Amino acid sequence: MVVAAPSVLHLLRRATYGPTEESIAQATRLGARAWLERQLAPSGIVDRTTQTLVEQRFPRIGWSIPKVRQYYLSDPGTWAVMYDLGRATVARAIWSERQLHEVMTEFWSNHLNVTSPSSDVWDNRAHYDTVLRTHALGRFDDLLVAATQHPAMQRYLDNASSEASHPNENHGRELLELHTVGIAAGYSETDVKNSARILTGLGVDDDTGLGTFRSDRHFVGPVTVLGFEHPNGTAKGGRSVAADYLRWLARHPATAASIARKLALRFVSDDPSPALVSRLAATYRQHGTAISPVLRQLFTSREFAASAGAKVKRPYEDVVATVRTLGLRPDPKGTKGIEALHWMLSDLGHAPMAWAPPNGYPDIAPAWRSAAGSLARWNAHLNIAARWWPQTLTGPRLTSLVPKPGPATHAGLLDALSRQLIHQTLPAAQKRAICGFLSEPGDVVQPSTPLRADSPAVGRRLPYVVALILDSPLNAVR
């Protein structure tokens, strides 16, 4: 086992879905800086195993929208492809080598949320995901144009049914409030109306399911939104007015600030300093809305370095990190184990893309404080570690975590296990808590109690000991 530097662990806890033995070894070998550069250029990372897994076990998520519609001609509206997408996303989060790309795809799928599964996007949600993936480490203006015009977003925020005479304001408003400048930018209701008018004409072709522009639905006439002005003189020109508007919004200082802050919330702390946010926003603008330079600056900032443990893990990060640290691998065939993890995440209220309102899952600790959530988290640790559910994932047995020869005492065992599982040792009080769990009337176990080959801690109670280490509050943060 490689002993990881704290800075390497910190980076892996934030820029990936949790450290693994392999990722620690790799980041240690390359150094944090080079490891980050590699992650920022995901196409250069060979990820064949996970790509093959997804292609073979979830082939439908790679289909074009017309192909999905054609295949389900007799079963339109099926949720099958959306479920596959959710499951494949969990698999990629656990096993992809392109970890930062996965993390950023998740980031954008919350920022530009299109709830999945939900009824209106059954045919196009998986394709929408490919758009988010394409631009996840690219430029935000490209991403915004592609996502806004995509049939999934068009349906989700109702612009698909908007018309010049009665513009549906839903998309026009959320574009300002959630996707770009934010409510603090101080736009007016007239701005919202004009935002909606600019988007009229964009929509979905009901025959193919593809995105389209219908000039007969486009509002014609001068439009202004905040500082954006356009004569918008022809119906035919509507599409390019919309694209100009979107690119203008993407570059707006308020958009830069809101995306910078959101990235800092994701990767640094629940309360990032205004100074950091403004530096990140400046970088975003200097680089034409490119995301990688912002991330590079963020991960190498002093504030990032000082923020270890400042983020509370949400259920998704917790479950995925648990599977990763236990070194579990996919089912030998089929998807049963992956499906079980996805159901577990649904029960925890954090299945990928399932957040219903358009603002995406919240990303601050108070939003996730919950009694039932704590209980569910403990139960998830035990279920996964003991292989009660899912049962079909493969990988090392828990006994392989126990050093050979065995540690002399229970404290030694707990130290060895927690170093491997959570990359730190537990404070004495927590070791005593777990030893208390192992005690029987008349047979008190203490950290100093010698460990024997037949001690329950390395036998029938080993899964519980592993679960309790994962339950430690030290492992509740990242």
Partner 1 sequence: MNCCPESRGLARRSLLKGLAAGVGLAVVDGPVPGTRYAFGASSPYVGDTLVVLSLRGGFDGLNAIVPVGDPAYLAARPSIGLPERVLIPAGGIFGLHPALAPLKPFWDDGTFGAVHAVGQVNPTRSHFQAMTELERAAPGSSVRTGWLDRTLGLRAPGSVFQGAQVGSTETPLSLSGPAPELTLHTLKDFDVNGAWDATERARWTTALRALHADAPEVIAGPARAALGAVTTAAAITAQTDPAANGAQYPDSTLGAALRDVARLMKQGVGLQVACVDDGDWDMHAGVGAPDDGWMHDNLTDLAQALAAFATDLGSLLGGVTLVTLSEFGRRVGENASGGVDHGHGNAVLLLGGGVAGGKVHGRWPGLDDAHLVDGDLAGTTDHRALLAEILAVRCGQSDVTQIFPGLGPTKPLGIVRHRP
Residues that bind partner 1 (CB under 8 A): 74-79, 115-120, 122, 177, 183, 312, 315, 346-351, 354-357, 359, 362, 364-376, 378-379, 382-383, 388, 427, 429-430, 432-434, 436-437, 464, 467-468, 471-473, 476-477
Residues 6+ apart with CB under 8 A from 215: 201, 235, 236, 238
* Shortest reach from residue 143's CB to partner 1, in Å: 22
* Shortest reach from residue 353's CB to partner 1, in Å: 9
Nearest to 47 by CA among 109, 112, 6, 101: 101
* Shortest reach from residue 351's CB to partner 1, in Å: 7
Q: Which is nearer to partner 1, 4 or 468 (CB)?
A: 468
Tokens representing residue 295 in the block: 């991330």
Q: Which is nearer to partner 1, 116 or 301 (CB)?
A: 116
* Shortest reach from residue 240's CB to partner 1, in Å: 30
Q: Are 210 and 66 in contact (CB under 8 A)?
A: yes
| Residue 436 DSSP SS3 | helix
State the pairing for strand pair 223-225/211-213: unpaired
Q: Which is nearer to partner 1, 240 or 370 (CB)?
A: 370
Alpha-carbon span 378 to 398, nearest angstrom = 17
* Shortest reach from residue 178's CB to partner 1, in Å: 10
Alpha-carbon span 172 to 169, nearest angstrom = 5
Residues 6+ apart with CB under 8 A from 351: 86, 316, 342, 345
Q: Which is nearer to partner 1, 41 or 375 (CB)?
A: 375
Q: Which is nearer to partner 1, 282 or 476 (CB)?
A: 476
Q: Are 45 and 38 in contact (CB under 8 A)?
A: yes
Tokens representing residue 276 in the block: 């950091």
The burial class, CB within 10 Å (0-12 / 13-18 / 19+), for 460 is exposed
* Shortest reach from residue 272's CB to partner 1, in Å: 14
Q: Which is nearer to partner 1, 164 or 382 (CB)?
A: 382
Q: Are 256 and 284 in contact (CB under 8 A)?
A: yes
Tokens representing residue 191 in the block: 């701005």
* Shortest reach from residue 88's CB to partner 1, in Å: 17
Q: Which is nearer to partner 1, 247 or 342 (CB)?
A: 342
| Residue 310 DSSP SS3 | coil
* Shortest reach from residue 27's CB to partner 1, in Å: 27
Q: Which is nearer to partner 1, 52 or 370 (CB)?
A: 370
Alpha-carbon span 333 to 300, nearest angstrom = 41
Q: Report the 10 Å Cβ neighbour count for 63.
A: 17
